[in-house]
A and B are shown apart, each in its own frame.
Chain A
């Protein structure tokens, strides 16, 4: 790594001129970040406190408690929670099956590639795939109706509802969970299990006292990631509900941009701000959990 001189101290840091060059090398990146990240964010932040006439106000923030908006936030948060937890649990089991389940060697790379594809498969293609399967004239719907005389729509299922959308979201939530958890599961060293068995633990005890505690930060962190992923999703909901049927924050903001619905600029900003706040909190939670894991696993 670094050379040391005979007195055992590392050499002095590089001269100012090369540091200067390094700083200059970073300038384009930072300029870009300022122009296209900082400014838009600041604009949103500042403008959410501005009324139509330009004066400072809290009204926009307060208007967030309007029933329509509250409903949107409630829906967005609910669907994100549901798909984060559901996707998290099922994705974890799938990841476990693939890493520790003793399956043939070809299974894992296949599932990993597929997960990479599936986690990117969203918007109209995904919506349409599910319409073809579980829509009113979808393949599975028709199959169940004709073969088992069971009409899922009569039984209360509706693809275009909250639960239908959740089911569709799972399509990119599972794979995301799988892709994140597989390395974490790889990190469970075989010797820990053997040492535990040596000391008398059975499978359940190993999982309870050792494996789960070690995996927990990764698990929670991934679910937070899933939450954020779902919260910020726009294309899929738009495609499935054609922009309106289910009230979601992303849809409302989108409508706001298109000038369709609210026509209250300030409120749009406040919505966006609310979103950023929620996402930031998620990111902070995620980083904290990441650091926990890194501390233990060397």
Chain B
């Protein structure tokens, strides 16, 4: 008798008909995990119409793409998604279920975990199969990101985890073969009590700082709200977004959607500028996984320098104009 291969499930994310890149990141990670124990990978998509080719997920590691198409998924419908995903999990009995730690993934997964009576670990930054036991080791930052906790789900299935976008790389495309299937959960799964009324897209420019390659954040050191103009200028030169520390958001110098930190957003851009930010734990927890951190502060003892790669110690009212001027010349020169 052959033992069926262990099934690894990934909840992919489709936004307005497009497959979000986090789906590819997780397909790649699940491939890695499945290969270490001889398992198979299925990516599940809930959508109304799909404008991207699901083959892209096969190239990133999926053996199978399960597409559940229904008009109710034109916008995120948590109740239909939760019921459908729980239905598929009961039918295919995956060992592992991974999902993006986006607003929708973080809404769907806890509910599905509760329905399936199993555990869930949020915002994992490390995932691996434990040699011997074959259990999923789920590592996540705890207590403000200063401690890493490794967590297991020993007895219950599936072993579930969410992962923030950009935690893992999109693997290079590989020539692989896989299939696309259209499972049909029972109609009761789509009888949602939640009614979608509409969606107002954010204006260009106020788009989410979590999706930017460069984030330029300001803190109390800016002294007054008008100083954000210098940061906006720097951000514009680099095609980035503007962030802020909690105190300046609380002082209403800038909107809450810009707040970086434990009580705001967690960002992981290629380049993060912390300008006039001293570096409270609360802020550091929201940016310390950035690729390159540049700190501008007049206090050489500021904690922000301890998590920075480049420290520009000086008066920001002098440093920023000079930096902007230099970058303007650079951008013009090409």
Q: Do A and B bind each other?
A: no
Chain A interface (Cβ < 8 Å from any Cβ of B): none
